[in-house]
Amino acid sequence: MSTVYDSTAVARSPVPFLRDLVESIRKPEFWAFSSWLDTVSRYRRTRLGLIWMFLPMAIWIVVLGNFYAQVMNHPKAEYLPYLGIGYLLWRFIVMVTNDAVNSFRTHKSFILDGRTRLTDYVLRTLARATFYIVMGSLVVFVVLVWSPEVRWQNMLTVFLTFPFFLLNMVWWVFVMSLFGARFPDTSEAIHTALMLGFLLTPILWVGERYAFGGIAWFLMNANPAYHLISLIRNPILGQAIPYSTMVYLALLTMFGWLVAMVLYKRYARYVPLWI
């Protein structure tokens, strides 16, 4: 095994991001096992243990769902699945983003020991959030069974839409991780951005009521989280995915992956120095 390090080492492969990603997916032992163990062992000290992985979710949907359905005057049968799916996905986005901005610093000891394939840490971040979304979806599943508004035959779309959602999360997590490593301010800024994002994304509220062209309409439509959530949520609730959402997401995906590939090629090798 021969290895060469010089001032241009990483740039040798044309698309190092894809190369490393494929390598990481081929060797999942490290990131899959360690994120699972992290998640599980986190609850070892607690009495309720793994129940904590979905208890907050259940309380959220039941308490807040009933409350807001009343405040906003929505029928519960429609509103609870709407809130459940939206919140589940939003929680995923929040979790991966918050983890991502600190990810490389958290794994500093690994990186400085020579494990410099950064896509491992990207996948580790995604794996952890995926465990949570799987647990959370058990709660949402109960809500879906209860609600008469759900189109079960449309549930199959999840197998298409969720991987597409994940595909976007991959580039997002890497870009956020890189920014977080280079600019420690990212972590603080992103907390605020995510809080605002929650209010600006139709999770608690239902989006259709904004008139075309208004400020609220614009803010909602510029928000990638809105489109990503609609993509998964709409079919389950028997609504069509707007054409604009499909175009937006196609462009977003291409743009995001391109940015990730360029940034990886240019900056990945500096990450050990930044942290």
Partner 1 sequence: MKASIKVDKVTVQVPYFLQPQELSGGWLSTLLRAASSVPKRQFATLLHEISFEANEGDRIALLGRNGSGKTTLLRTLTGAFPPSDGKIRLEGTRQALLNMNIGFNQEATLIENIFLRATAMGFSTRMVKELITPILEFAELGELAGRRLLTLSSGQRMRLGFSIATAVSTEIMLLDEWFGTGDIHFVKKARERLMGHIGGSKIVVVASHNQALTNRLCNKGLVLERGRLVYYGPLDQAVKEYATIKPTPNPDLPTSIGDGFAKASGVGGMKISQQG
Interface residue list for partner 1 (CB under 8 A): 1-7, 9-10, 27, 29-30, 33-34, 37-38, 41-42, 44-45, 109-116, 269-270, 272-274
Tell me how far, at minimum, the Cβ of 46 lies from partner 1, in Å: 11
Q: Helix (H, G, I), strand (E, B), or coil: what is residue 144?
A: helix
Lookup: tokens for 148: 């008469």
Give the span between the Cα atoms of 149 and 81, in whole angstroms.
8
Supply the minimum distance, in Å, between the C-beta of residue 109 and partner 1. Answer: 4
* Minimum distance from residue 259 beta carbon to partner 1 (Å): 22
3 state SS of 73: coil
With 0-12 / 13-18 / 19 or more C-beta atoms within 10 angstroms meaning exposed / middle / buried, residue 81 is buried
| Closest separation in Å from C-beta 182 to partner 1 | 9
Q: What angle do CA 82, 57, 94 make, to 5 degrees?
A: 80
Tell me whether residue 84 or residue 180 sits nearer to partner 1 (CB atom).
Answer: 180
Phi, psi for 75 (deg, rounded to 5): -65, 135
How buried is 75 (Cβ within 10 angstroms: 0-12 exposed, 13-18 middle, 19+ buried)? exposed
Cβ pair 173, 126 in contact under 8 A: yes
Please say which residue, 32 or 206, places its beta carbon nearer to partner 1: 32
- Which amino acid would we find at residue 138? L
Q: What residue type is 75 in one-letter code?
A: P
Q: Tell me the closest approach of the beta carbon of residue 274 to partner 1, in angstroms.
A: 7
